[in-house]
Copies of this chain bind each other. A is one copy, B any other.
């Protein structure tokens, strides 16, 4: 599909806004973005499937959800009364034992619909029955990056096959090494993880320091924090990173900095599960690589990256007694650009020519976008999923003005409603 977006503004990779712009896509890629008069030359002789007058709206790179459990939409507003440990063991694990690939297929589709409606163009997803999600992602046209979720209950035996199979499955799908968490993984399995990372010279991701109890447990077991342990085992020798990072020590941050690892924040989930508040300002002060995720719909409970961006910006203020503890432009960059690099999507970091056409259109006529004292701040402080007018993934329009082009939301609604009853 070739698309021409006229009369738009474009968020540049340095988080400034280019006025009087156009953007042209050719199949899955951005062919041009920038000055409208230059665009006219490029467009000459091209055939377009759609010419879209953006009416001065903003085009920006799609938002990257850098930590999620997509199919956990089944557990939205379920067992909300539990803290992380109880929530996992009493509410989630028993239901997950019943989940079939068909369940995961439909609950993944529901997640993709919510991602697309909220401007999210790719997710870094840790879950199982991955072949079912992969099928749903490709059918939807959504960019789905899997993260290994192995733990002592299973997954290590198939990790290498997943890595090889899912990385050659479809251009929209890839797989990054990972395991669930130190607290669900024996030392033997952790050592296996390190071997595999070395064999493939692969980055590894995991849940890390999400709760105080988890860190205390690791210290009890090994005498050190999870980050120190995993570093010593060589798991991070080829990069990767951690999800949550709420209870990081200064030493943990140093280890992450040393290996150039990604710290992925999940503010809503951490608040809701009473896990804690990540001192985002410290990670930024240490010039660390940061990205942002929603976590699953069971613990968030939405897949709304606008709310995450807001909280990652303002939650540091109270602790620091500083209303400008975190620069909203840094957080927006983490959400739309750095998140892509975190999940290995180096061709999805900006709207520059040559990048993949993962693009969203933000309504600049919505009252929450007005007045335009500062567009970047408006998005981070005042944005919400209702501002997303269009979502394009890999050059295809998947969502426009409330309608999905590849998802039958009524079918998803019916199927997931009956499946929720099956799992109860």
List chain A positions with a Cβ less than 8 A from chain B: 73-78, 80-84, 87, 110-111, 113-114, 117-118, 268, 270-277, 297, 300-304, 306-307, 310, 314-315, 317-318, 320-325, 328, 365-368, 370-374, 377-378, 381-388, 401-402, 409-410, 412-413, 416-417, 419-420
Query: Are A318 and B367 touching (Cβ within 8 A)?
Result: no
The complex places the Cα of A255 from the Cα of B62 at a distance, in Å, of 50
CB distance from A402 to the nearest CB of B (A): 8
Query: Are B385 and A271 touching (Cβ within 8 A)?
Result: no
Query: Are B368 and A114 touching (Cβ within 8 A)?
Result: yes
Query: Are A372 and B83 touching (Cβ within 8 A)?
Result: no
Chain A to chain B: the 9 pairs with minimum beta-carbon distance, closest first: A386-B386, A77-B377, A114-B367, A81-B324, A301-B381, A302-B382, A274-B317, A113-B367, A77-B374
Query: Are B74 and A371 touching (Cβ within 8 A)?
Result: yes
A–B pairs, 25, beta carbons within 8 Å: A73-B371, A77-B373, A77-B377, A77-B378, A78-B374, A80-B377, A80-B381, A81-B323, A83-B322, A114-B368, A117-B367, A117-B386, A271-B314, A271-B315, A271-B317, A274-B318, A274-B322, A302-B381, A302-B383, A304-B368, A368-B385, A370-B412, A371-B419, A373-B420, A384-B385
Assembly of this chain: how many copies?
2
| Given A117-B366, A323-B273, A367-B113, A381-B314 contact (CB < 8 Å) | no
Output the nearest chain B residue to A424 by Cβ-Cβ distance.
Answer: B373
Q: Which residues of B have CB within 8 Å of A273?
A: 317, 323
- By CB atoms of chain B within 10 A, which of A81, A111, A302, A419 has the most? A302
Query: Are B274 and A320 touching (Cβ within 8 A)?
Result: yes
Q: Which residues of B have CB within 8 Å of A367?
A: 73, 110-111, 113-114, 117, 303, 409, 412
- By CB atoms of chain B within 10 A, which of A270, A372, A386, A412 has the most? A386
Output the nearest chain B residue to A246 by Cβ-Cβ distance.
Answer: B318
Known: A117-B367, A117-B368, A302-B382. 18 other contacts (CB 8 A): A73-B367, A76-B371, A76-B373, A78-B374, A80-B323, A80-B328, A80-B381, A82-B323, A83-B322, A110-B370, A118-B368, A268-B314, A274-B325, A301-B377, A302-B368, A307-B384, A365-B410, A370-B416
Query: Are A318 and B271 touching (Cβ within 8 A)?
Result: yes
Query: Are B365 and A409 touching (Cβ within 8 A)?
Result: yes
The complex places the Cα of A49 from the Cα of B377 at a distance, in Å, of 42
The complex places the Cα of A273 from the Cα of B313 at a distance, in Å, of 11
CB distance from A209 to the nearest CB of B (A): 15
Q: Which residues of B have CB within 8 Å of A117?
A: 366-368, 386
Query: Are B382 and A76 touching (Cβ within 8 A)?
Result: yes
The complex places the Cα of A410 from the Cα of B402 at a distance, in Å, of 21
Output the nearest chain B residue to A275 by Cβ-Cβ distance.
Answer: B318
Q: Which residues of B have CB within 8 Å of A111?
A: 367
Query: Are A384 and B302 touching (Cβ within 8 A)?
Result: yes
